[in-house]
Chains A and B, each alone.
Chain A
Amino acid sequence: MAFAGRFLSLAGLLATTPAIAAGPPVKVGVLQSLTGTMAISEVTVKNAELLAIAEINAKGGVLGRQIQAVVEDGASDPATFAQKAGKLIQQGGVVTVFGGWTSASRKAMLPVFQRNASLLWYPVQFEGNECSPNIIYTGAQPNQQIVPALTWATAKGHKKYFLIGSDYVFPRTANLILKKRIAAGKMTVAGEDYVPLGGTEFSAVIAKLRAAKPDIVFSTLNGDSNVAFFKQMAAAGLTSAKLPVMSFSIAEQEAQAMGPALVNGSYAVWNYFQSIQTPENKAFVAAYKAKFGAKAAITDPMVHGYVNVWLWKAAVEKAGSFDPARVRKAAVTLAAIPSPMGPVKLAPNQSLVQRAYVGQLQPDGQFKIVSQSPGMIAPEPYDALAFPGKSCKPA
């Protein structure tokens, strides 16, 4: 391994860069679910993180050192995430970890990172309500995804909302925020239901949907459950033309795996869509496809994972150190860096300042951007209506 690492760093050096190799490769952890119910979404986040690492290595690495990724499988199981995070930090000797998807996995890893004074870069939209100094949260906070979705739906004239989610912390908290805001907007919640994570039986949910006759469904279902939900909706004749569905966990890749015909016409809110037309995004999409196949779909969490690695590099270079505490302090003072989702920077609460887009799925599996937030949205981990008086104190 050591030999291979030295060889790689030498190759990287010869290939492109004037920087001087200042030591052996520096190890970083990549911890996503490569197996289990979440694998449908997380394998490609791992790919995107590895792509960023490869690109940085090709340009000479960080502080003149090549990055060596240590990949571990969280296996869709929070306890495994915690255990693998500990293994990466204590035995793997990694300086930071990129990974996690479900909030349960993040909550399980949080104490591990705090205990070891290490740093986790978390790439997925989540329910907020948390700000650990040992985690950088770049996925959307509620006010960067859920709230813009409701704002858009309200503007479209939808008044009756049905909330369906997988049964864990993100859907429960997201729906709490939604219910507060729906009530504040003098609209109604037609129903609320939860299925176990990975659950595939939706007959009762669909019966309740038919009885409640909502204007729109807000779905926080995760993983395989989405396939079953849309399949059974289609079988019951509830197409997106009759009953629009706004999903918070379906991006291009899930749409591709489910078959775009199944989810055609449904909505999503993300901070990134593959269809964004910028030179940075086109270059990123081309690079990803060159490495992982022309059929690959690119999603918001993948881009957040990719951006995380670049943000870490910029922070390390600003701090002049791999020490997590110094990297963290440097990260929140970085100037905006260009990315496939536009220029991004971290707020003092260690979350990302970013835009929200509303997209509608097209038959080719891509989203047509139908609306976007007027400007960049500063991240708010605590929703003002659902959790009044609480806020993150920058550490």
Chain B
Amino acid sequence: MDPALLLGQIFNGFSVGSLYLLAALGLALSFGLMRVINMAHGEMLMLGGYLAWGTLQVVSGPWGIIVALPVAFIGAAIFGAILHTALIARLSARPLDTLLATWGVSLVLQQAARSLFGAIGVEVTAPAWLDGAVAIGGASLPYARLFILGVAALVLGGLALLLARSRIGLLVRAVNQDRMMAAATGIDVNRIDLIVFSLGTGIAGLAGVVLALLGPVTPTVGQSYIVPAFLVVVMGGLGSITGTVAAALILGLVVALSQLAVDVSLAQVILLVFVILFIQVRPQGVVASRSRSLDA
């Protein structure tokens, strides 16, 4: 085995894992708190990608992509807030119906993107400072992928800080542990749901921006990441942030390292088989969630 290739693939595993993580965090958050499976989550990625493209039309120049990050975050979060208020909050007692309704939203959003921007998709050009790669031990680490790792780390750090230290985070944890008791102590549970859901879609918006650095922004861009995102959530232990991080990295490494032996196409099969076997052995996921909301 070529050591440079192995080193490169370990880095690529982290890189793929960071993409999975950004795509999956929002799903994990909203599932953990509300047990809502948002099938339109992939379209939040797409929204982020188109917002990045739109931002770069207005703010050209090397730092456009930096401006695009908050724009996409806020834009996707606002859209998430609307989606939650208009649809999900009204169906909160019927989880299966939210599945179906959000799937419908996903189809509507894809078609809307097609009608607005065309089926062909749009192109976000990475700024010059993200072109090129740094060579370490014969492996080549592209700046764009290092940037994505950085964004994922910042998002994760910010989220951990928010949940652990802020008052909102305290309330989120309270609702997460026991929704009815939290409501009884006077916490506005619906407001917490709204905040967490918007936060989750906002993070998906960020994922859309960084994906645009690697590929085209198309109406179906979210679809290729939504399945791995669900796998990450399932494997991580439903609703656990630590588990989500661990699962994203494990799956990223499984994909990258299996590609040393097989082609990209077969690596997807190995990924699925791995998750199926893992769930057989450890159905509760990497980190078992002991939230009472999940005991019910």
| Interface of A toward B, CB cutoff 8 Å | 34-37, 39-40, 43, 167, 192-196, 198-208, 210-211, 224, 227-228, 231-232, 234-237, 257-259, 261-262
Q: Shortest beta-carbon distance, A247 to chain B, in Å?
A: 16
B35 at the interface (CB under 8 A from A): no
Tell me if B120 and A34 are in contact (CB < 8 A). Answer: no
Beyond A196-B268, A208-B259, A210-B5, 14 extra complex contacts between A and B, CB < 8 Å:
A198-B224, A199-B224, A199-B265, A200-B214, A201-B19, A203-B12, A211-B4, A227-B121, A227-B216, A231-B213, A234-B131, A235-B126, A236-B140, A237-B140
Q: Shortest beta-carbon distance, A228 to chain B, in Å?
A: 3
Contact A207:B119 (CB < 8 A) given known A228-B216, A235-B132, A235-B145: no
With a cutoff of 8 Å between Cβ atoms, the chain A residues found around residue B140 in the complex are 206-207, 210, 236-237
Q: Which residue of B lies closest to A232 (CB)?
A: B214
Tell me if A40 and B265 are in contact (CB < 8 A). Answer: no
Q: How far is the CA of A146 from the CA of B159 in the complex (A)?
A: 51
| Interface of B toward A, CB cutoff 8 Å | 2, 4-5, 8-9, 12, 15-16, 19, 114, 119-121, 123, 125-126, 130-133, 139-140, 142-145, 211, 213-216, 218-221, 224, 255-256, 259-260, 263-268
Cβ-neighbour of A224 out of B215, B264, B268 (below 8 A): B215
Contact A198:B220 (CB < 8 A) given known A203-B145, A227-B123, A235-B132: yes
Tell me if A235 and B264 are in contact (CB < 8 A). Answer: no
Q: How far is the CA of A235 from the CA of B127 in the complex (A)?
A: 10
Tell me if A208 and B5 are in contact (CB < 8 A). Answer: yes
With a cutoff of 8 Å between Cβ atoms, the chain A residues found around residue B266 in the complex are 194
Q: How far is the CA of A211 from the CA of B260 in the complex (A)?
A: 11
Cβ-neighbour of B264 out of A35, A195, A259 (below 8 A): A195
Tell me if A237 and B265 are in contact (CB < 8 A). Answer: no
Q: Which residue of A lies closest to B123 (CB)?
A: A259
Tell me if A203 and B265 are in contact (CB < 8 A). Answer: no
Tell me if A207 and B265 are in contact (CB < 8 A). Answer: no
With a cutoff of 8 Å between Cβ atoms, the chain A residues found around residue B218 in the complex are 37, 224
With a cutoff of 8 Å between Cβ atoms, the chain B residues found around residue A203 in the complex are 12, 15-16, 145, 256
Tell me if B130 and A235 are in contact (CB < 8 A). Answer: yes
Q: Shortest beta-carbon distance, B218 to chain A, in Å?
A: 6
Q: How far is the CA of A54 from the CA of B263 in the complex (A)?
A: 45
Tell me if A257 and B120 are in contact (CB < 8 A). Answer: yes
Tell me if B256 and A196 are in contact (CB < 8 A). Answer: no
Q: How far is the CA of A234 from the CA of B142 in the complex (A)?
A: 9
Q: How far is the CA of A68 from the CA of B114 in the complex (A)?
A: 26
With a cutoff of 8 Å between Cβ atoms, the chain B residues found around residue A201 in the complex are 16, 19, 214, 255, 264
Q: Shortest beta-carbon distance, A340 to chain B, in Å?
A: 23
Tell me if A193 and B8 are in contact (CB < 8 A). Answer: no
Q: How far is the CA of A204 from the CA of B140 in the complex (A)?
A: 11
With a cutoff of 8 Å between Cβ atoms, the chain A residues found around residue B265 in the complex are 167, 194-196, 199
Tell me if B114 and A231 are in contact (CB < 8 A). Answer: no
With a cutoff of 8 Å between Cβ atoms, the chain B residues found around residue A200 in the complex are 211, 214-216, 221, 224
Contact A196:B215 (CB < 8 A) given known A203-B15, A208-B5, A232-B142: no
With a cutoff of 8 Å between Cβ atoms, the chain B residues found around residue A199 in the complex are 224, 264-265
Q: How far is the CA of A35 from the CA of B5 in the complex (A)?
A: 38
Contact A236:B224 (CB < 8 A) given known A37-B218, A43-B119, A231-B215: no
> Which of B132, B219, B265 is packed against the most chain A CB atoms within 10 Å?
B265
Cβ-neighbour of A204 out of B9, B145, B215 (below 8 A): B9
> Which of B5, B130, B215, B218 is packed against the most chain A CB atoms within 10 Å?
B215
Q: How far is the CA of A305 from the CA of B119 in the complex (A)?
A: 20
Q: How far is the CA of A200 from the CA of B121 in the complex (A)?
A: 14
Q: How far is the CA of A234 from the CA of B145 in the complex (A)?
A: 12
Q: Which residue of A lies closest to B134 (CB)?
A: A237
Q: How far is the CA of A43 from the CA of B260 in the complex (A)?
A: 37
23 A-B pairs, CB-CB below 8 angstroms?
A35-B114, A37-B218, A39-B119, A43-B120, A167-B265, A194-B263, A194-B265, A195-B265, A200-B214, A201-B264, A203-B15, A204-B255, A207-B8, A207-B9, A208-B5, A211-B2, A231-B215, A232-B144, A234-B131, A235-B130, A236-B142, A237-B131, A259-B123
Q: Which residue of B lies closest to A210 (CB)?
A: B140
4 closest Cβ pairs, A-B complex: A228-B215, A39-B119, A204-B259, A200-B215
Q: Shortest beta-carbon distance, A138 to chain B, in Å?
A: 24
Tell me if A235 and B216 are in contact (CB < 8 A). Answer: no
Q: How far is the CA of A227 from the CA of B120 in the complex (A)?
A: 11
Q: How far is the CA of A198 from the CA of B121 in the complex (A)?
A: 13
Q: How far is the CA of A205 from the CA of B211 in the complex (A)?
A: 17
Cβ-neighbour of A235 out of B2, B131, B139, B221 (below 8 A): B131
Tell me if B5 and A207 are in contact (CB < 8 A). Answer: yes
Q: How far is the CA of A40 from the CA of B145 in the complex (A)?
A: 26
Q: How far is the CA of A205 from the CA of B130 in the complex (A)?
A: 20
Q: Which residue of A lies closest to B225 (CB)?
A: A200
Q: How far is the CA of A143 from the CA of B275 in the complex (A)?
A: 43
Q: How far is the CA of A300 from the CA of B110 in the complex (A)?
A: 29
Tell me if A257 and B123 are in contact (CB < 8 A). Answer: yes
Q: How far is the CA of A240 from the CA of B259 in the complex (A)?
A: 24
Tell me if A40 and B267 are in contact (CB < 8 A). Answer: no
With a cutoff of 8 Å between Cβ atoms, the chain A residues found around residue B15 in the complex are 203
Q: How far is the CA of A271 from the CA of B129 in the complex (A)?
A: 39
Q: How far is the CA of A259 from the CA of B256 in the complex (A)?
A: 29
Tell me if B119 and A36 are in contact (CB < 8 A). Answer: yes
Q: How far is the CA of A328 from the CA of B210 in the complex (A)?
A: 51
With a cutoff of 8 Å between Cβ atoms, the chain B residues found around residue A37 in the complex are 218, 220
